[in-house]
Structure 1
């Protein structure tokens, strides 16, 4: 929408789900259900969408799959129809040539920023990494991404994050190492550089509530993680939006700490933490399948699916924490979202 300041919106703090990929039994794009997912997130009150990211499956970029641009275009069309403006984020992956090509594509589609994965360059020297980030930032505003090692990320030092925060066109950082020490490295680096204009977002799906509640005070200044850009928030999204509002500048209470444990327990099951996250995408798909938003849990990789006992564990957390789901909301509106 004209006049929408996406940087200001990021700083206010948003619930941004990482958008899954809807496939049919032939493992081809199910356009109707792909659109339904976008409509669901928008109706649930999400402040933005992150498309073409890990939860969307990186394999959409493969030449034989060819779904990167089609999937981004579908989400764009649904965001264009939304009654409220959304921050439009698309994943940017690969080595520098590929990353620049993707950045140019998403800019052309009207996305506001690229979520920059460095997984393909995790063995690169620090100078090479920074040069890569600068090159992408010359094309489109960049959201940094500290991706956990279990799904392809590498260790990024405090010194790296200081240099990264000095790149002018960095607008936010998704902090998702699933590690408290490394989370602190990022926050401290940004504060030390003095970049108050870089919005900090949790991607630590294992620590969502605590991340949103925790003030970081360093050298007399204070920063908070103002929102979440999360794969976990691709399910039960209406409740996720309410959770963010509840945590915003809230007093820390035993009830909130208990809620944080419940969210983490649920995430451990949905992301299949017990099996090194092998079923992390299929677990999210299973929730969406149960709600009728997806037809099945198919992934592009035929080897990806639920791990042994993961379905039973999903049964357990659904029964234990019914206040975390938005099943009634989805049931009320699903048929409308699924209309062509």
Structure 2
């Protein structure tokens, strides 16, 4: 078994945090822009994010390709900046690294993350699509021998396999499981995971929303599930989201507002229900829903470019960019919902983040 999560990290994960999925900062030559990559991490830390996910979909899976060779360098750079952030802020940020591929690759990536001091691995099962539950659970078990796991229900539109309630119920029996990112963009499949965690009786598994189409409502909803002779209630503790890689200061405020509402055990006020619809509408533009999520990474880059955090919207794949009409949609939601951005906060600190 891997070493358990340090108590402060475990407690922070269970309490709930904003965990942005880190974008990759590139130059026009599509090489790593270290200066702006460091500035991004400083932005997330100062915005109040409780952690960072590195090497995940938003960081671009192609960093693992031999021709780019960026997986280890990006992990190392992020580690350095997170070490500095911990020292500067006097708190420990949750460090999650993406893990993908078949079992041999996934175990090797988990070992790299462990050696660099990452706390847990976000385990994509896309490479095992078509495998049965036994094969997928054996894969999870092998990776979990190296590093605590954050399970990942990735939506099918971007390559995630369909995972049954039975799979998730058995997954919750793995001692290495620390959290689950629920991101099928599907209420029925979300309930499968919620029910599995509730029926497991485990209170040490943190649920994190990755449902970009339902962020605020996931955070507000008390999920009450029949378990044995009684009822179990579980909630999403926080979010691990590509959407929260932009306007992160506002995301921290949104999580705090949802947590305060839950603590009052009162019905969600109309203002939070309105916010939910606005965030979902904005996400549709940022993630390029109209074009089947083709521009989901470039859309985030465009917001960060406008704020000055990125120089451009380049992706490792020269063919990857904004979808048709996406720029107009980003313009629309920027005009419609000015309260969702944190432009003033970024402008106030940008020079410091870039100078380091």
Which TM class, normalised by the smaller chain length?
over 0.9
Q: How many residues align?
A: 339
Q: Runs (4+) of structure 1 moved beyond 6 Å? A: none
Alpha-carbon deviations, 1:106-140, whole Å to 9, x = none? Answer: 00000000000001111111110000000000000
Distance across 2 between alignment mates of 1:249 and 1:207: 18
Alpha-carbon deviations, 1:264-299, whole Å to 9, x = none? Answer: 000000000010000000000000000000000000
Secondary structure of the equivalent of 2:355? coil
Q: Does 1:68 align with 2:84?
A: no
The alpha carbon displacement at 1:5 in A equals 2.2
The alpha carbon displacement at 1:37 in A equals 0.4
Distance across 2 between alignment mates of 1:332 and 1:249: 28
TM-score scaled by length of structure 1: 0.98
Counterpart residue number, 1:6: 9
Please tell me whether the aligned partners of residues 199 and 232 of structure 2 are also in contact (alpha carbons under 8 angstroms). Answer: no
296, 301, 304: which one aligns with 1:288: 304
Gaps of 5+ in 1: none
The alpha carbon displacement at 1:49 in A equals 0.2
Q: Does 1:22 align with 2:25?
A: yes
Q: Does 1:203 align with 2:210?
A: yes
Gaps of 5+ in 2: none
Counterpart residue number, 1:125: 132
Counterpart residue number, 1:167: 174
Please tell me whether the aligned partners of residues 4 and 85 of structure 1 are also in contact (alpha carbons under 8 angstroms). Answer: no
TM-score scaled by length of structure 2: 0.94
Counterpart residue number, 2:324: 308
23, 43, 64: which one aligns with 2:46: 43
Counterpart residue number, 1:299: 315
Counterpart residue number, 1:177: 184
Secondary structure of the equivalent of 1:316? helix
What is the aligned-residue RMSD (CA, Å)?
1.0
242, 245, 254: which one aligns with 2:253: 242
Please tell me whether the aligned partners of residues 207 and 260 of structure 1 are also in contact (alpha carbons under 8 angstroms). Answer: yes
Distance across 2 between alignment mates of 1:30 and 1:145: 28
Q: Does 1:230 align with 2:241?
A: yes
Q: Does 1:186 align with 2:193?
A: yes
